């Protein structure tokens, strides 16, 4: 809860923000924010999230975040050879969301920036550009 309160305070102080980008442990935290936002929590006014090398927390106190499908648009970046957060863990997190977009890449624990991935990022983000219907 302390981390979530810190995120809420940062969003309020430095926002507004359209979406969140989380990497590794940050993606795990961002997924929890998505769950709260999906339930209508006004502290987290974001429209989407990009979760890179994310995973669902195994802490028993966090189980409630994943009990119901998370209804917030997300792009999940999964490294096929990620030895830190393995692909199955990231794909398991994606399954907690309603209609997640999953982008796999052949690399490991990093944010890929090759042309193919950049194209996928832009295609996902264009959905949230003002004037594009959302």
Identify the active-site residue in 5, 18, 24, 57.
24
**50 sits in which H/E element:** strand 48-52
Q: Establish whether 109 is a catalytic residue.
A: yes
Identify the active-site residue in 76, 82, 90, 105.
82
The total number of residues shown for the chain amounts to: 134
Q: Establish whether 24 is a catalytic residue.
A: yes
* CB neighbour list of residue 32: distance below 8 Å, 6 or more residues apart: 4, 57, 62, 65
Identify the active-site residue in 18, 57, 62, 109.
109
Q: Establish whether 82 is a catalytic residue.
A: yes
Catalytic residue positions? 24, 82, 109
């Amino acid at each position: 809860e302390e981390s979530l309160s810190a995120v809420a305070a940062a969003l309020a102080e430095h926002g507004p923000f359209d979406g969140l980008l989380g990497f590794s442990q940050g993606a795990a935290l961002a997924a929890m924010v998505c769950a709260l936002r999906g339930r209508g929590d006004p502290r987290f006014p974001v429209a989407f999230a990009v979760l890179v090398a994310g995973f669902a927390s195994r802490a028993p106190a966090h189980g409630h975040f994943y009990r119901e499908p998370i209804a917030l648009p997300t792009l999940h970046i999964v490294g096929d050879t990620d030895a830190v957060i393995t692909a199955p863990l990231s794909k398991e997190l994606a399954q907690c969301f309603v209609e997640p977009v999953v982008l796999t890449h052949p690399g490991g624990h990093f944010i890929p920036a090759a042309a193919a991935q950049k194209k996928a990022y832009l295609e996902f983000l264009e959905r949230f550009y003002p004037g594009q219907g959302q």
